[in-house]
Structures are given as structure tokens and as C-alpha cells.
């Protein structure tokens, strides 16, 4: 029965492309999504789905398709927000919104889930259990949309959850996955330096925040190399150092911002503690007050072992073992992690690259659209596998 659904997706592919391009032309930023969730809800209701909830956890949409056969409750998630990046591609479906574009593939994720839902709904007499469709807002900007959607109950009664991300630099037609830690916790920090400004010709009368800030940057470079176990992973990077004005004036203040990426909560705690100590004591050594504001971002995304095996088996059966590839963990963040903290599941990558592919968040970003079909086929196959007798959650 599921084989027929997978075949039916081939017929949906042209419409899948058309809807992806519609969303691509009409992007909306995180926490500003208005028309996109309305369009999603209307699509599902037009299919006949009568269990559609809007404004879920904020701007999310959650719908349920009830199969006629007994089975598990399986959630599928797609995100739909865009980025504050000017679309520089020369294509007919270029963004119509100045300074905003789908430079990460969330337009495709949305179309994938909508057309997967269409096939599932049209075959509900053969469908086992209940499928929960989670259309999530604001993945790109913390605090993100996943956490409030979970808190609002989108995972209630769910047995397992699956999600995928199309990836423009992975070869089209391949599935990438890894059990355990896959994507890092993504934290932000702000360092505030309060000195005493004055004339650049009279530095002895000042407390120079630029010199102090430079010392802090240099000292913090040792946090990972001298405090974190070399067998663990951590990244501490600086994104901005803001201070000053006229060339001959020593400023009063400076501000440094950056990010920390970790997989282990123990490592995260070590990094936070040492950063705070170094910032305060380096500041004291320079005769000024320095403070660290540390903002926890998305937690590390940790895939569950059995569900990872489902992805590996599904990809091998659909496309051949050579097209299912193990991947190394990534230091990027993803708020799908919140779902996996609550329920068994897996997040995998679907290759969507081509010879001239640009990376994610690039003004020329685009995807090989055939990857949408493969991602949708994987979702249907994973529903089938999760409902098989003897599956780990059944």
C-alpha cells in the first residue's frame, strides 16, 4: 500500500515544484510569518483535512490525518521562515520581497510536507495510525518556533517524529544521517567593557576598553584549547567588536559578541564558567568592569539510534545502500532538537546539490528541486517502517 503512495508522489512532483516556487517568491521572516501559515492551512483544508489548527504556539500550523487502519501516531515537521538576505539569483521565481529570501530551503520543506500530506490523505483508507503535520515558524531566529509549539502540545500522543533538511552542498539523490549528536547547541554571548575614555594623546588618563577587549579576545581563545577535553568538540568564535568613534579619542566602552557551539552539556558548562572568569579577571587587571551575558540557544540535536536505523534502511531500500551515507556532526544549530528531547525520532539530510551549488544563507542559494521528491518518498517510507510489527516503539 505504501509503495503505491511513493509512486503517486511522482505525479505530485510538478505541483510540488510550483508550490515551492510560490513560497520562494513570497518569503516571510521569522516571527513575521502571516500569509505563509494561512496558505498552508488553506491548502490542507482544501484537501479535506478537518483537523487543522492555526496560530499553534504562535504562528505554527498543526494538522492531523487519521488513517483508517490502526497504527502509531507519527509526526512530520517542516519549517517555513525565510532569512534577511537579498535574493541575488537570476531566476523566474526570484524573491519579490526586497532584502528577504528563502536562502536555506524552508520553502521546499513546506512544499514537501504539504504534498506528502496530500498523498497520505488521498490514501487514508490504507494509512495506519495518525500522521501529525507540524508546520513550524521561526527556525532561523532564537528562541525559535519549536519550543513554543512543543509547549502548546504539538507532540501530544506522538510516538515518533521525523524531520529532514535539504542540503545544497550534498549530492542530490543521497541521504545523510548519523545516530547520536548531529548538530550543536548554538549559544550567543555579549561582553560589555566599561572603561574611561579620553584623548588619544593622553592614554595615561584613560582606561582603554579597546586594549582590554583585545586582551579578552586573546585570552578566550584558550578556553577550548586548554579547558575542553581534546576528544570533545567545542567552538568559540567572535562575530563583532564594537567600539570607538574619532581616530584620536579613546572610547568609554566596547562590546564584543560571538557564539559558542557544543554537543555536551558538561562541555557547555565548562566553557560558560571559564568565559565568565576570564572576562571578569582580565577586566579587573585592566582596571575596569567587564561583564558577560551568555544566552543559551538551541540545545544539541541528538538523533535516536533505532529511528536512525529506520532512515538508513529506508534510504537503502529506496535508492540503494551506496546512496545512504554516514555524516559527521555539524556545528550548526537546529531547533528540531526540542522535539527530539521529548520524543524518539531522527533528523536527516537530503542531498539537494548540483555542480554550481551555493552554500546555505548565501544570496545565490538554490537547490536541486528533485530532492523534494526524494525527501517526500523518505517520509512515506518511514511511516511504513515505523508501523511494522516489532518496531522499537510499538
Binding residues for Mn(2+): 104, 106, 140, 165, 361
How far is 69 from 126, CA to CA, in rounded Å?
A: 7
How far is 28 from 97, CA to CA, in rounded Å?
A: 8
Assigned C-alpha cell, 273 = 564558567
End-to-end CA distance of the chain: 20
Q: What is the Cβ-side half-sphere exposure of residue 227, based on CA atoms within 13 angstroms?
A: 21
List the one residue out of 356, 344, 357, 353 whose CA is nearest residue 385. 344
CA 327, 177, 296, 106: dihedral to nearest 10 degrees?
Answer: 110
How far is 149 from 335, CA to CA, in rounded Å?
A: 11
Residues whose CB is less than 8 angstroms from the CB of residue 177 and which lie 6 or more positions away in sequence, other chains included? 303, 308, 311, 312, 315, 324, 325, 326, 327, 346, 348, 349
Is residue 324 within 8 Å of 177, Cβ to Cβ?
Answer: yes
Q: What are the φ/ψ torsions at residue 166 (nearest 5 degrees)?
A: -70, 140
Beta strands in the chain (DSSP E): 52-56, 60-66, 69-79, 128-136, 160-171, 175-177, 180-183, 185-194, 198-199, 234-243, 249-250, 253-262, 289-298, 301-303, 324-326, 345-353
Match 528577504 to its residue by C-alpha cell.
100
Pairing of strands 128-136, 69-79: parallel
Q: Which residues are annotated as a binding site?
A: 104, 106, 140, 165, 361
Q: What is the Cβ-side half-sphere exposure of residue 359, based on CA atoms within 13 angstroms?
A: 2
User: Could you give the residue numbers annotated as active site?
Assistant: 81, 139
Amino acid at each position: 500500500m505504501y509503495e503505491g503512495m511513493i509512486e503517486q508522489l511522482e505525479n505530485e512532483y510538478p505541483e510540488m515544484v510550483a508550490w515551492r516556487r510560490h513560497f520562494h517568491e513570497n518569503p516571510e521572516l521569522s516571527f513575521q510569518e502571516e500569509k505563509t501559515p494561512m496558505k498552508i492551512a488553506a491548502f490542507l483544508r482544501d484537501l479535506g483535512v478537518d483537523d487543522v489548527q492555526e496560530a499553534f504556539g504562535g504562528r505554527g500550523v498543526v494538522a492531523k490525518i487519521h488513517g483508517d487502519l490502526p497504527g502509531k501516531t507519527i509526526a512530520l515537521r517542516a519549517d517555513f521562515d525565510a532569512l534577511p538576505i537579498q535574493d541575488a539569483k537570476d531566476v523566474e521565481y526570484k524573491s519579490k520581497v526586497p532584502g528577504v529570501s528563502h536562502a536555506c530551503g524552508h520553502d521546499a520543506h513546506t512544499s514537501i510536507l504539504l504534498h506528502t500530506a496530500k498523498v497520505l490523505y488521498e490514501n487514508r483508507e490504507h494509512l495506519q495510525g495518525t500522521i501529525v503535520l507540524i508546520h513550524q515558524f521561526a527556525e532561523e531566529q532564537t528562541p525559535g518556533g519549536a519550543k513554543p509549539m512543543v509547549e502548546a502540545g504539538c507532540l501530544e500522543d506522538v510516538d515518533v517524529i521525523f524531520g529532514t533538511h535539504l542540503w545544497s552542498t550534498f549530492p542530490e539523490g543521497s541521504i545523510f544521517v548519523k545516530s547520536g549528536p548531529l548538530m550543536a547547541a548554538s549559544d550567543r554571548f555579549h561582553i560589555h567593557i566599561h572603561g574611561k575614555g579620553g584623548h588619544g594623546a593622553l592614554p595615561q588618563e584613560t582606561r582603554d576598553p579597546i586594549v582590554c577587549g583585545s586582551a579578552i579576545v586573546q585570552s578566550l581563545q584558550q578556553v577550548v584549547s586548554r579547558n575542553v577535553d581534546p576528544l570533545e568538540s567545542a567552538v568559540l568564535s567572535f562575530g563583532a567588536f564594537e567600539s570607538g568613534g574619532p581616530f584620536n579619542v579613546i572610547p568609554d566602552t566596547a562590546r564584543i559578541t560571538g557564539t559558542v557551539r557544543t554537543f555536551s552539556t558538561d562541555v557547555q558548562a565548562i566553557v560558560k564558567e571559564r568565559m565568565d572568569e576570564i572576562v571578569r579577571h582580565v577586566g579587573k587587571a585592566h582596571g575596569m568592569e567587564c561583564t558577560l551575558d551568555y544566552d543559551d540557544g538551541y540545545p544539541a540535536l541528538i538523533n535516536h539510534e533505532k529511528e536512525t536505523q529506520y532512515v538508513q534502511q529506508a534510504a537503502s531500500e529506496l535508492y540503494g545502500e551506496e546512496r545512504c551515507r554516514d555524516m559527521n556532526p555539524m556545528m550548526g544549530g537546529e531547533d528540531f532538537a526540542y522535539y527530539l528531547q521529548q520524543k524518539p525520532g531522527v533528523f536527516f539530510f537530503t542531498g539537494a546539490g548540483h555542480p554550481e551549488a551555493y552554500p546555505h544563507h548565501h544570496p545565490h542559494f538554490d537547490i536541486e528541486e528533485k530532492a523534494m521528491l526524494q525527501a517526500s518518498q523518505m517520509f512515506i517510507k518511514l511511516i511504513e517502517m515505523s508501523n511494522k510489527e516489532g518496531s522499537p516503539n510499538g
